[in-house]
Each structure stands twice: as structure tokens, then as C-alpha cells.
Structure 1
Amino acid sequence: MQNIFGKNGTETPEPVQATVKGVIPLWLEGTLIRNGPGLFSVGDSRYNHWFDGMSLIHSFTFKNGEVSYRSKFLKSDTYKRNIKAERIVVSEFGTMVYPDPCKNIFSRY
């Protein structure tokens, strides 16, 4: 996973004009949305399977023969919890997360 899928993607919240080779027909207008894994580690913890990476949404907008690109992480409840804790706290398909032992021990007192 580290060689191919292990790098975290980055958000590109503002549209970036793409360099086009060739010609895009002027009649082609709309937005292509692509969803895939984009965040493979949070803090020092890493996902064990590439299915587990948190979602990065890619948007390609076609208009007037030009293309612009932008991307954002899906701000799901899991994403928010992991980012807040600065580690992976929700188990996924191939990644088992163990509870914080200090929290369990000291929560009794």
C-alpha cells in the first residue's frame, strides 16, 4: 500500500484551470465527480488496506472548451472524529482500531 496508495491526497478547494492537449468540444458542458480514497494516515496511525482511505472527492468542470479541477475531503463523522483525535479512531474494512487503554482505565475513577 505504501508504494502505490500510501500517500495522502491534498485538497484543492479553489478551481484550478487545467492544461488541455487537443480540443474540448464547445458543446461539452457539465461536471464530472469522482470519489476515491485520499487520506491513508491520520497523525501517526495508518490504514492497513487501501479500501479504508478516507474519501477525497474530485470535481472536473467542463465549460467553453476549458476544464477546471478542484478536490475536497468528504467531511464525514468518521473524518471529523479522526482529525479531532489526531489518529484513526474508527475501525474500517481492513483496519482494526483498539480503544485508548488510559481512557478505559481512568474513566472508572
Structure 2
Amino acid sequence: MTAFDAMMDVLFADPNMASDAVYTPPRGGSPVPCRASFEHGDQNWRYQDAGVSTPARIAEVRTLEVPLMEEEGTLAIGGRTYVIANATQPDADRLLWRLELQ
């Protein structure tokens, strides 16, 4: 286990930092329980010279828990279900999925 793995274990186990969630692939399949860290970011929209910024719902899920995350799948947490609009792995070590949710 690397220092980064140990750090992720601590962060995602903390109830103040992450919550229990369930990922379901877009074409059905078995739901996958996981932990998700949520944040509110901004999504920027531009058209020619005009721009608008709207609130976005962002979640991070460990690739250790969900190795394959697909767009149009769902992430359910606390009785709410979000559709995954975009799934990327922003870190070079590929420890996390960064999800833009609708």
C-alpha cells in the first residue's frame, strides 16, 4: 500500500468527507456499493462573447471500488439518484473518478 492509498482510505472512511453510494452501469448490471465525496463546482458555458456559470454537482469515487465508470450510469446516494454526465480520471495515478452529475 502506498502513502496515497492510505490517505484515500482515511479520507473516504471519514463520514464528514464521503458518503455511502451505489453506482449502477447504464445498461443495467449489478449495482456496485462505493463511497463518494461530493462537492459543488461551477460549470461554465460559453457562446461567442457571452458566458454563463451554473452550479454543478461533482462526485469523486475511488477506482479501487468502481474500476469501470461509464457515462449515463447512475450514482445513488441518500435516496437521490444522479445521472453521470461525464466521468474522468484527473489524477495521474488513476486513484479517483471525477464525475459530473445531472
Query: What TM-score results when the alignment is normalised by the length of structure 1?
Result: 0.24
Query: What TM-score results when the alignment is normalised by the length of structure 2?
Result: 0.25
The structure that is helix-richer by fraction is 1
Q: Which structure carries more relative contact order (alpha carbon 8 Å, separation 6+)?
A: 1
- Higher Cα radius of gyration: 1
The structure that is strand-richer by fraction is 2
